[in-house]
Every structure is written in structure tokens, then in C-alpha cells.
Amino acid sequence: MGYRRYANMRCCMVQVRSLCSNTSTISRYGRGRDIDNARKVFDNTPLSQRTIASWNAMVAAYFESHKPCDAVILFDQMPQRNTVSFNGMISGYVKNGMVAEARKVFDSMPERNVVSWTSMVRGYVQEGMVEEAERLFWEMPHRNVVSWTVMIGGLLKESRLDDAKKLFDMMPVKDVVAVTNMISGYCQVGRLDEARELFDELPKKNVVTWTTMVSGYAKNGRVDVARKLFEVMPEKNEVSWTAMLMGYTHCGRMKEAFELFEAMPVKWVVACNEMIMRFGLTGEVNRAKMLFEGMKERDEGTWNAMIKVCERKGSELEALDLFARMQREGAALNFPSLISVLSVCASLASLDHGRQVHARLVRSEFDQDLYVASVLITMYVKCGDLVRAKTTFNRFPSKDVVMWNSMITGYSQHGLGEEALIVFRDMCSSGVQPDEVTFIGVLSACSYSGKVKEGFEIFEAMKCTYQVEPGIEHYACMVDLLGRAGQVDEAMELVEKMPMEPDAIVWGALLGACRNHMKLNMAEVAVEKLAKLEPQNAGPYVLLSHMYASRGRWRDVEVLRKKINARSVVKFPGCSWIEVEKKVHIFTGGGSKSHPEQPIIMKKLEKLGGILREAGYCPDGSFVLHDVDEEEKTHSLGYHSEKLAVAYGLLKVPEGRPIRVMKNLRVCGDCHSAIKLIAKVTGREIIVRDANRFHHFKDGYCSCKDFW
């Protein structure tokens, strides 16, 4: 008899262990979001042996896998429910950001415990509904230390530090989590003395508390104090080391940052990412690359950091190569890297890559975001594809000011003043308030298209109608507007009457007007002003040299050249580039001997030269800054970088597709005339983006109407 009782007891214990094992297995699969295996274990458990705990575990697994509908279906099928079941539903909805549904479950509960109330309060806090959380918190019949801590965290999230302090003082028992939260809150608003007082009063601190205080000092610029505290920490983890490291990097103390980085027991990925970004942004790109290449493990942040460094430091082609490598190595594409690459595509006018990134954004469902839409519009605009830019713009019934600005600026850069004004009027009629950027785009559009009357009307309406105070950029647009229209004296008058000191942009606009209308005396004044404002910029000297050269004043050209050499002025060499089959080809003036296909490019140029001469083209020697004979001038003009890029485009871009060329400087007058003729004799559409604007060449005409 005793033996049989013993055997039954053992049998029951085995069954209990089996049921517990099944429940824990479901939970384990659920936490790993392996919902199929979790369900398999659940279904293989006989119905009679499924405990409430196993049902609860399966419901939680669905919520963990972001399948709330399946969780609800299973919850409704439960033969029995307890308070834990309802709490699981509340917690699951909260995790999925469905706080309204969580509240319905909360209100329907036959019996609530402190976990039910706390979960609901947490849900409101997570969704930013702190007032609702506060209301519910004070209705709670009982509160534990977690309830108080969650509510304090909500108030701190809303920057209500004083209210959080009052609540903290009311807490019957304060644990290390609550105190650490308050320390963090004080640090966020720079009240470090109060934070330190709490820190010192806490008898038992954990590594999070120490790290919070170190981070607080570091973020508020007191890096040396942070380091002293860091050195006496009883234990340090990855977050501690990284917080101290970022304290140094954010205040530019890269020497100490690198020494600390070298002392790290483990080179954690987050710390490596920070060093890559900071090395890159401080100009040490090679060190950033070495660190990147030496990493055995990289995460999304690593790729983002390296791509961002390349984008910011002018290594756009490397950024594109990194993006391609990132995909080859199976790294997950994410929002920051895609946005960085879109910016690179815009900078390089790499339309093929831009379309590829756009497709990725669509697949990742990022393209519904207004910010992403604005970046896409800008990318298509800078790549010269206004049709796709407008299509992206039109997809959004509700547009923010950034989207409107992107489209207005796009039309402006392409010289389509009337279209820009139409979008501006649509923007105003839709109820969106224009800002400073809007008016820069609209006034530039008027300038590029010669709409002087409309430009003045909009400039006057800025303050009176739209309550936007004209800034120096708007005055620069007006100077440019008058100058382009030939009213150079009026432009100078406006400069003299400006309510603020003219900057380099204003004087640069005036100089451009002087160049277009050959106002040499005024140009010399503008160059003198620019030399004081931007002593290292060679651009003004080059423009003045062109003016002297066109008048045959070679002695003055030589004097300017000596000034440039004496001042160590930086003259950026002209270069142009074109994208063919997702590869960017760069050309510099003088024949681009470095290009692998240089012989066939030169042959194409020679052939074009003959055709152009037959069509009446005569090279304009005023754009050569050397006192040489006409034959040498013609030879020099023939190998300008934009002509080389156009020749390559004619060789490689299929018929029927536009040839898109980019130049880092303003396109020269001779090349402008030549490309108009090239477009006519070849029947091709050629789009050139220079430092100022777009030129659409077709049938012997340019969209700028020779007004640039």
C-alpha cells in the first residue's frame, strides 16, 4: 500500500515537472520570437494538461512577436483565466503601443492587483500620456516601489523635475532604481550638485547609479570630475566605459578619448562606432577607416558611422562603395544609412543609386515618412529628375513646410520661376505658413527667371503679410535679382542700404552681376570686400581675372595671380563628373589623361569640334586666363572638364536618355555656348548641374535662356 502511494506521488511529480517544462519552453521560444515552435509545444500539450500558466505563456509569446490579434483570439479561447492572464493582456498591449486596448482589458478585469495598475500606468507613460498616468496613479488603492518609480520616470520624461522630486519625497521606501532615476533627472537639466547629493546619500549603489553620475558629469562638460569618479568605481561595464569615452569625444578631447579607448578591457562595438564617427568628424578619416577595417564584429551603427564620415568629408564615392559592400556582407539596411546614402546620391547626382535607395525605402516602408519624402525630393531635384521629384511630392496629401520648400527650391534651381511661384501659392492656400527657407527658394526662383516685379512684391510681403523678417540671405537674393536683370547700380544701392553688414554671399552676388554686365570698377570693390571676408577663397580673384582677360588687361591678370600666390589662396580645380551604369566618372580639365578611356574620349571631342565649327561655333578666348595666341586658347577651351564629361556621355549613355553632367564650379560661358550647339547637332538632351543651378540643353537652347 505504501509502495503504491509512493509510486503515485512520483508519477504526479513527473507530470508537474513536464507541465512546468512545457510552459517554460513556450516562454523561452516566445522571448526569442520563435512563435512557430512555441505554438508547436503548446499544441502538442494535451488539452486536459494545459495549465493557465501555459495559456498565459502562449498569449505572451504572440505579443512578443507583435501578433496582438492572435493573442486576443487565444485569450478568448482560454477555459479559465486568472489575474495574471489579464495582466499579461495589459502588458502585451502596452508593449505593442496599444494603450487604448490595454485600458479596455483593465476596465473589464473582475479583480485587479498592484501589477495591473502599475502596468496600465506604465502604458500611459510610454505613450507620453503622463497626465492620464498621473490620474490613474492617484486612484491606485495600493502602490509598491515599482509603481512610484514608473510614475517618477514619467514625470522626468516630461521634464517635470520639481513634480518628480515632490513624488520622490513622498515615497515610503526608496530603492536604488528610484534614486538613480532622480539622479538622471537632475543631470539632464544640469543640476549636478543636487544629483551628487542624492548619489552620496545612497548607501548601496549599483553600477547603473555610478554610470548615471559619471555620464551626468560628462554630458554637462565636467569631464575631469567624471573621470575622477570613473576611476573609483567599484565595477565598470560597457555602458560605464562608453559614457566616459563619449564625455571626452563630445568636448573634442580626442587624445584622452583614444587613451581611454586603448585602455578598455574589451573594444565594444558601441565604443568603436563612437571613435569612428569622432575620428572622421575631426578630419582623421584614415584612423576612422583603420578602426572600421580592424573590427571583427560590426553592427548597423558601425556602417552608419563610416558612411556618414565619408558623406561629410567629401568621400562620396567611398560612401557608395561602402553601401554596396554593406549589402554584399548581409548587414541590415536601416534608416540612417539609407538617408546618408540618399544625401550622397544628391551630392553626386547619382540617379541610378538614388533610385535603388528609393526602392529599398519602399520595401522597408520608410517612404511614408514626410522627412524621407523631403530627402527623396531633394535627391531627385539634384539629380535633375524633376518628374520623379514632383511625383514623390504629389503622393502626399498632407505636406509639411520642409516638403513644400524642397519642391520650391527644386524648381528654383532648375530656373523654372513660374512653377516655383505656383507651388508657393499652393502652399499658402493650403494653410502652411512659409518660413525663411521658403522665401530664399521663391526669391531665388524670381532671380533665376528674371521676375523682378514679382520678386520685389514677395520681398515686401515677407514682413507685412507673412511676419517673416528678411535676413541677410533674402537681401542676397534681391541683390542677385537686380544684378541678373542688369540693374547693377540699383543692386549696389540696396547693398549700401541693408540693415545689416553685407556678408560674402551678398558681395558674391554683386560680383556675379558685375561679371555678367562687365561693371569692372564695381567688381573691383566687391573683390576687395570679399578678400577681407574670405581671404582664402580664390573664386572672386578668378572672376575678376576673367573680366581683365576679356578686356586684354593681361598685366592686371598677372598682378592678381601674384596676389593669389602671396596669400596662399586656395583655388579649387574645376572638375566634372557623369554617372554611367552606376559608376561615377570624374574629369578634370586638360584632357583627363587619368581616365582609362581617354583615347576614345579625345577622338570624340575632335570629331565634335569639327561638327561644331561647321555649325558656326567660334571659341570664346575671353575665358582663357593666359596671354597666348588664339590657337592655344582654342586648344585650352576644348578640354574643359564639362566638355570631356559630355563627350563621354555621348559615347556611353544610350540614345533617348538624357546625359546628366555635374560640375563643381560655375559652367564657363564658352562651354555653355558649345553644349547648346552639341545638344542641337546630336539631337540629345543634356542636363548640366553647376555650382549655381541647372542647365537643360535641348535643340540648341538652354533652360536658363543664357541668364545665369
Backbone angles phi, psi at 704, to 5 degrees: -80, -5
The tens digit of pLDDT for each residue in 629-667 reads 333 344 455 678 899 999 999 999 999 899 999 998 888
pLDDT at 593 over 70: no
Are 556 and 524 in contact by the 8 Å Cβ rule? The answer is no
Q: H or E segment at 37?
A: helix 35-44
pLDDT at 11 over 60: no
Three-class secondary structure of residue 349 per DSSP? coil
HSE, side-chain direction, 13 A CA sphere, residue 667: 33
Task: Report the C-alpha gap between 183 and 590 in whole angstroms.
Answer: 65
Of 133, 59, 112, 126, nearest to 89 by C-alpha is: 59
Task: Report the C-alpha gap between 511 and 502 in whole angstroms.
Answer: 13
Quote the pLDDT of residue 624: 47
CA distances 261 to 303, 431, 531, 677, Å, are: 19, 52, 43, 60
Give the three cell numbers for residue 163: 513634480
Of 553, 545, 542, nearest to 691 by C-alpha is: 542
Three-class secondary structure of residue 575 per DSSP? strand
Task: Report the C-alpha gap between 583 and 596 in whole angstroms.
Answer: 13
The tens digit of pLDDT for each residue in 128-164 reads 899 999 999 999 999 999 999 999 999 998 889 999 9
Give the three cell numbers for residue 233: 568605481
Residue 576, C-beta contacts closer than 8 angstroms, at least 6 positions apart: 586, 587, 641, 642, 644, 645, 661, 662, 663, 664
- Most confident option among 345-354, 356-365, 493-502, 622-631: 493-502
First to last CA, the chain: 108
Quote the pLDDT of residue 324: 86
CB atoms < 10 A from the CB of 700, how many? Answer: 12
Give the three cell numbers for residue 671: 562651354
Are 580 and 653 in contact by the 8 Å Cβ rule? The answer is yes
Neighbouring-strand partners of residue 537? 570
Q: What is the mean pLDDT of the chain?
A: 87
Give the three cell numbers for residue 311: 558623406
Residue 185, C-beta contacts closer than 8 angstroms, at least 6 positions apart: 156, 161, 164
pLDDT at 412 over 50: yes
Quote the pLDDT of residue 670: 83
Quote the pLDDT of residue 20: 57
pLDDT at 7 over 50: no
Quote the pLDDT of residue 551: 86
Residue owning grid cell 564639362: 642
The confidence band for 568, taking pLDDT boundaries of 50, 70 and 90, is: low
Quote the pLDDT of residue 287: 93
Quote the pLDDT of residue 331: 84
When pLDDT is averaged across residues 442-449 and rounded to a whole number, the result is: 92
Are 447 and 455 in contact by the 8 Å Cβ rule? The answer is yes
Alpha helices in 430-538 (DSSP H): 436-448, 452-464, 472-484, 488-497, 504-517, 520-533
Quote the pLDDT of residue 625: 44
Q: What is the pTM of this model?
A: 0.71
Helices then strands (H, E): number in the chain? 38, 6
pLDDT at 627 over 70: no
Task: Report the C-alpha gap between 91 and 63 in whole angstroms.
Answer: 9
- Most confident option among 514-518, 579-583, 678-682: 678-682
Of 391, 325, 384, nearest to 354 by C-alpha is: 384
Three-class secondary structure of residue 296 per DSSP? coil
Give the three cell numbers for residue 44: 502538442
Of 536, 537, 513, nearest to 525 by C-alpha is: 513
- Strands 659-663, 686-689: pairing kind: parallel
Of 145, 81, 147, nearest to 120 by C-alpha is: 147
Neighbouring-strand partners of residue 500? none
The tens digit of pLDDT for each residue in 84-125 reads 889 889 999 998 889 999 999 999 988 899 999 999 999 999
Q: H or E segment at 584?
A: strand 583-588
Residue 47, C-beta contacts closer than 8 angstroms, at least 6 positions apart: none
pLDDT at 590 over 80: no
The confidence band for 591, taking pLDDT boundaries of 50, 70 and 90, is: low
Are 217 and 199 in contact by the 8 Å Cβ rule? The answer is no
Q: What percent of the chain has pLDDT over 90?
A: 50
The tens digit of pLDDT for each residue in 228-270 reads 999 999 999 999 999 999 999 998 899 999 999 999 999 999 9
Quote the pLDDT of residue 635: 44
Task: Report the C-alpha gap between 148 and 171 in whole angstroms.
Answer: 7
Residue type, 192: L
Neighbouring-strand partners of residue 687? 660, 696
* Torsion 211-294-280-691 (CA) sign: negative
Neighbouring-strand partners of residue 660? 687
Quote the pLDDT of residue 74: 87
Task: Report the C-alpha gap between 614 and 608 in whole angstroms.
Answer: 10
Q: What percent of the chain has pLDDT over 70?
A: 93
pLDDT at 706 over 80: no
Quote the pLDDT of residue 491: 95
3-state per-residue secondary structure call for 146-157: HHHHHHHHHHHH
pLDDT at 180 over 80: yes
- Strands 575-580, 659-663: pairing kind: antiparallel
pLDDT at 9 over 50: no
pLDDT at 274 over 90: yes
Query: Sheet harboring 575-580: ordered strands across?
Result: 583-588, 575-580, 659-663, 686-689, 694-698, 701-702
pLDDT at 516 over 90: no
The tens digit of pLDDT for each residue in 352-378 reads 888 888 888 888 777 788 888 899 999
The confidence band for 460, taking pLDDT boundaries of 50, 70 and 90, is: very high
SS3 content of the chain, % helix, strand, coil (to 5): 70, 5, 25
pLDDT at 12 over 80: no
Q: Which of 203-217, 326-340, 373-387, 518-532 has the lowest mean pLDDT?
A: 326-340
Quote the pLDDT of residue 218: 93
CB atoms < 10 A from the CB of 346, how many? Answer: 21
